[in-house]
Every structure is written in C-alpha cells, then in structure tokens.
Structure 1
Amino acid sequence: MNERPVLSATAVTKRFGDFTAIDDVSMDVRPGEVVGLLGANGAGKTTLIRILLGLLRPTEGTTSLFDGPPDRRRRAQLGYVPQNLGLYRDLTVAENLDFSTGSYGVATPPMPDDLRAHSGTLVGDLPLGAQRRIAFIVALAHSPAALVLDEPTSGVDALSRARLWDTIRGESDRGTGILVTTHYMEEAQECDRLLLMSAGRLVAHGSESDIIGDTRAVSVTTDDWQHAFAALNSAHVPVILSGRAIRVADTDPDDLTQILQRAGIPATITPVPATIEEKMLVLARSQ
C-alpha cells in the first residue's frame, strides 16, 4: 500500500510520573487495512489509542491523524468504539443514534431489521452483544475514513464476534483504515498486519507468520495435567494451559522431559506449530 497513513505515531513515549506507559512506539495504519494491536492487559494498548486520538498528549514523539494533528476537524472523519462502547445507557437505541448523527450533521441511517424492534429500548437494558452492534452502527453512521476499535468483541459469543468481524472487513473493503485491539488470539488471523506490545514497547510487527517466525512449541499430554503444569511453571518455562491442554514454547523438549521425569510425571511431548499467543509469551518474558 502506497497511500499515506490515516493514523501514525513516531517515537511516541508517554510517562505518568515515574511510570512509562508507552516507550518509543512508532506505527501506522493505512487506508483499507486492518491492523491488530495485541498485548496483555497493561501492555499500553489503550494509552496508545488515546494518544493517537488526541485525548492524551505524548511526553515525547508525534502523532498524525489524516496527515495532521489529531484536532477536532480531523477527528470528525474518525469512528471510535471504546471499551465502554461510548453509548448512553439511559437513552434508547434510537436516541443514541439520533444524538450521534446530529452531532456530525448527517442523516440517521435505517436500523437493521433485527434491531428495529429495540429502537425504543434503553441501551442499558439490552444484552452486551446487541449493545456492541449498536456501538458499531453509531460509530459508522457518518461514514468515517478511519475506525479505531478498542476490544470491540470482548464479552460476546462466537456468533456475535463473527458478525462484528464481517462488519470490520466490510469497512476495510471500502477503504477504511482500521486499528483494532483484541485479546482473542484467533482474531489475529482476521488482521492484515499485527503490532505486538509488551510493557509499553512495540516488540514485534508484521503478519502472523512473520511474527511467529521460527518459534517452536510442543504439546504435553498426560493424565496428571495439574501436576505437570505446576512442575513446568515452577521451572519457569513459557507454559500455557488451555482447559487441560498444556503447551510450552521455545524450550528444548529434552529439558521438558527431564523436568517432568524429576517430578515423577509420565507424559508424551509432541512438536506442534507455535501460535501467536505463545510468541507473545516468549517476547514478554524476554523484556
């Protein structure tokens, strides 16, 4: 893509007293691409977003929104869904939409058929999945050229997440540049490019396969999974437990075998492709 970025940061640092929340981060989002901003809670994702939107001033570095400072005029070309959705819970669905479109001076779009029956319902009385869909409708009502989504699918079921991602991809197809944070690692595959943050720093960027690179992983299969996880965790290896499934990244399988043998735990160790979550864990431990 040769288009100029719709959002960018250059060597941005943000300090709160002695605490450095963002440390020398440079990034951009270009028209028509979906950029995923990934990282654990506290990695600095939301702080970076607030700086990009002009809601916080960086301590050092610069940001650009539509090739200029993030002022009110340029923010009018932006759609934003914050973690708290940005809706008025004590207003109805229709009132929220009318208020937003009136602020931008655009016509109120028709409500989707499945939400029309709820137009007179207070937003706070709706389930979270419906609230998130309404937040998207409000954010898109003025046809923004850029979209910033902070954990837009958090707390909703898999079908609702898929529908919201259909909306995201539809917007990117029409040329909207999109920055999205998520803690669902499978959603990384929906993004054109990824930015990985840890402890306020940008530690990796590129496609999912670029970031994973040559990182190795193994699956540990054992009936005594609880003690196996405890033994590996005590040995300070990058271990992940998902349900009863144990996986370890970037560690010599012979070392894992010895750890489990010393703990008296029989197990089978099988090489598996590494995931983006495992790479994030390895990168976080190296900071």
Structure 2
Amino acid sequence: MLAIEGLTKRFGTVTALDGVSFDVRPGELFGFVGGNGAGKTTTMRIVLGVLASDGGTVSWQGAPIDADVRRRIGYMPEERGLYPKMRVAEQLGYLARLHGMSAGDARTAVERWTERVGISARAGDAVEKLSLGNQQRVQLCAALVHDPDVLVLDEPFSGLDPTAVETMSGVLAEKAASGTPVIFSSHQLELVERLCDRVGIISAGRMVAVGTVDELRAGETARIDVVGPPAGWPDGVAGVTVLEAGHRPGGDWVRVALDDGTDDQAVLRAAAAAGPVREFTPYRPPLTELYRDAVADRVVVEPQPETAGARS
C-alpha cells in the first residue's frame, strides 16, 4: 500500500499542502481530483522525490520510500518529459535500461507496450513527429515499460481522443487488476467516476473528501416533481430537508435529503397531497456535483512560479 500521511509543503508565503493524508491500496484505481493549484502535482512530486516535503511521510508497504522503491514507481508527469529528437523505441528502451532491465528484456517490454497502446507502427519515428495524443501514449509506455510496482500518473488523459481514452483506461484497469496501486489526477470527473474504485478531492492544499463515490454521496436523497404544488409544500414534511428546487412548465421539482429512518412512502403521500406527482426517484449525484459541494467553501491559491517552480 502507498500511504501519504500529513504532507505539508510551503512555497514562500503560500501553503501548497496542509496535512494531506490518503492511501492507495493494492489493485486500486485512485482518482486524485482538484482544481489548478490545489496541490495534486505537488503531492505526486513529493511521492517521487522530485520535491521534498516540509512535513509528513510517504511510505510503501509500511516502510519509508527510498531511492530503491522509487525505481519501482512508474511516473507520468503532466508536462511531457520526452526527448523530442529520439525515436520512440530507442527512447523507451533507454528508459527501461535506466530502471535496471537487460537489453533483451527492455526490447521485449518496448514491443509489448507500444503494441498495447497502439503506437507500434510509430516506434521508429522521432517523438517530435508524433501528434500530441501519440506523444501521450509514449509517455504512458515510459511509465509502464519497467513493469512498476506503483503507477503515479498526472493528467494522463489530457489531449487524448475518445479511442485513446478507452485504450488508456483499459491499460490502467489491467494494471490495477494485476494488483498494482494506480493513482492518477484528472479534470475529467465523469471519467474518474467511471474508472476509479476510490476518489480523493483536494482543495487549497487540503484533502476535503476521500472515499468511494457512493461513500461521498452523504445520505439518501430523492427528486420529486409535482404539478402545481403550493409554495413551500415540503417544508412541513417530517424528516425532509430541501437541498435545491426548480420550476419547469407544468410543475415544480425539489431535491430533498431524507433523515435516517424517514419513510419514503410517507414523503410520497405528502407530495401527492400537494399535487399530481410526475416523478419520485432516488437521486444519485454525479462526481461533478459532489466535487462542487466539497470545494464550495474553499479558495484555491496558485503558488507563484518564481517560488514554486511549477503548477500544482
């Protein structure tokens, strides 16, 4: 298990990380989400040893991460870190050798991963000749070529077309199924919700929520659509709290939270007494809405480039 405990990091007067804690379990896809400057990249760079934290720990299998462990991590940075003049296969083989693989094993791994991500036909081309999407595929190969024990990926889906997104999604799911912990950041929340076992939401350097999407859906909610109800009709219904309301031609709708033990049939009867009911359904808010609610009261502050050196 990869465990991050109480990470803190300051850039001058800016607190980039403030007690960040979460873990990524074997065989788990963990989605790390937050706005620009929230602290995602800073956290990942500390895990990789690119940055030093001001406090807190990063451990793997219960022991502090050292240089030997970091050689077993596959890392994909948000900014492309490829040598543009080198040919794809040559570059991937070079990186595999840096991780300690033999020439033969490196060659086999390069063939395997370029084939898997759909760029084997471009293996002899210079990286600069590739589209941005194909360069992203090469970067994924670079993270995978040495068969890492952990995958840490910063915005891996950026710039990919739908076909490439499906390819990369399949690769990450396969790695997780093999027991590898996989953490990736992304602004594509629908994709995170679809792929990930658990999600961590970071805002202004603090973890504001961690759990499965179902766990982040606090309590039971329902959407009720009633034709022509009197104003404020749900206010007197026991065990019901109105979360939001709206109007559309022919009727009003409300989304309500039900207290534990509230009889949903009693709520339905109260709605029917207010007017004809067109809809009464459980409501499962998407991750985009959960994210919005989690960060609503927080302000994200960008570290200044001259002190931070990079975007979080």
Distance 1:158 1:185 in 2: 15
Distance 2:219 2:120 in 1: 50
Q: 1:166 aligns with which of 161, 170, 174?
A: 170
SS at match of 2:19: strand
Deviation at 1:129, TM superposition (A): 2.1
Aligned to 1:205: 210
Distance 2:288 2:220 in 1: 11
Aligned to 2:5: 10
Aligned to 2:137: 133
Distance 1:181 1:165 in 2: 13
Q: 2:65 aligns with which of 67, 70, 75?
A: 70
SS at match of 1:99: helix
SS at match of 1:37: strand
SS at match of 1:14: strand
Matched, 1:285 2:296: yes
Matched, 1:112 2:111: no
Deviation at 1:207, TM superposition (A): 0.5
Alpha-carbon spacing, 1:52–1:266, altered in 2? closer, same or farther (3 Å): farther
Which amino acid is the alignment partner of residue 78 of structure 2? Q
Distance 2:159 2:222 in 1: 29
Q: 2:33 aligns with which of 28, 32, 38?
A: 38
Deviation at 1:92, TM superposition (A): 1.1
Show structure 2 runs of 5+ residues with no match. Answer: 224-241, 256-282, 299-312
CA displacement 1:175-223 (0-9 Å, x = unmatched):
11111111111122211111111111100111011112248698xxxxx
The CA RMSD over aligned residues, in Å, is 2.6
Distance 2:3 2:171 in 1: 23
Show structure 1 runs of 5+ residues with no match. Answer: 219-249
CA displacement 1:216-236 (0-9 Å, x = unmatched):
698xxxxxxxxxxxxxxxxxx
Which amino acid is the alignment partner of residue 170 of structure 2? D
Of structures 1 and 2, the larger Rg is shown by 2
Q: Which moved more, 1:171-180 or 1:116-125?
A: 116-125
State the identity as a percent. 35
SS at match of 1:22: strand
Distance 1:76 1:33 in 2: 20
SS at match of 1:252: strand
Distance 1:216 1:18 in 2: 41
Distance 1:119 1:211 in 2: 43
Which amino acid is the alignment partner of residue 130 of structure 2? L
Distance 2:250 2:243 in 1: 18
Q: Which moved more, 1:46-55 or 1:81-90?
A: 81-90
Which amino acid is the alignment partner of residue 148 of structure 2? P
Aligned to 1:252: 244
Distance 2:155 2:220 in 1: 27
Deviation at 1:251, TM superposition (A): 4.4
CA displacement 1:107-128 (0-9 Å, x = unmatched):
2221418523212211122112
Distance 2:221 2:86 in 1: 51
Matched, 1:153 2:157: yes
Which amino acid is the alignment partner of residue 99 of structure 2? Y
TM-score (norm 1): 0.77
Distance 2:127 2:252 in 1: 51
TM-score (norm 2): 0.72
Structure with more contact order per residue of length (Cα contacts < 8 Å, sep ≥ 6): 2
Which amino acid is the alignment partner of residue 288 of structure 2? E
CA displacement 1:49-107 (0-9 Å, x = unmatched):
11112221111211113433332211111111111243212211012112111212322
Distance 2:176 2:287 in 1: 23
Distance 1:88 1:216 in 2: 51
Distance 1:141 1:135 in 2: 10
Q: Which moved more, 1:162-171 or 1:11-20?
A: 11-20
Contact 1:81 1:152 in 2 (8 A): yes
Which amino acid is the alignment partner of residue 31 of structure 1? P
Give the 5 Å matches for 1:255-274: 271=255, 273-274=284-285
Distance 2:115 2:128 in 1: 19
Aligned to 1:176: 180
Aligned to 1:242: none
Alpha-carbon spacing, 1:53–1:266, altered in 2? closer, same or farther (3 Å): farther
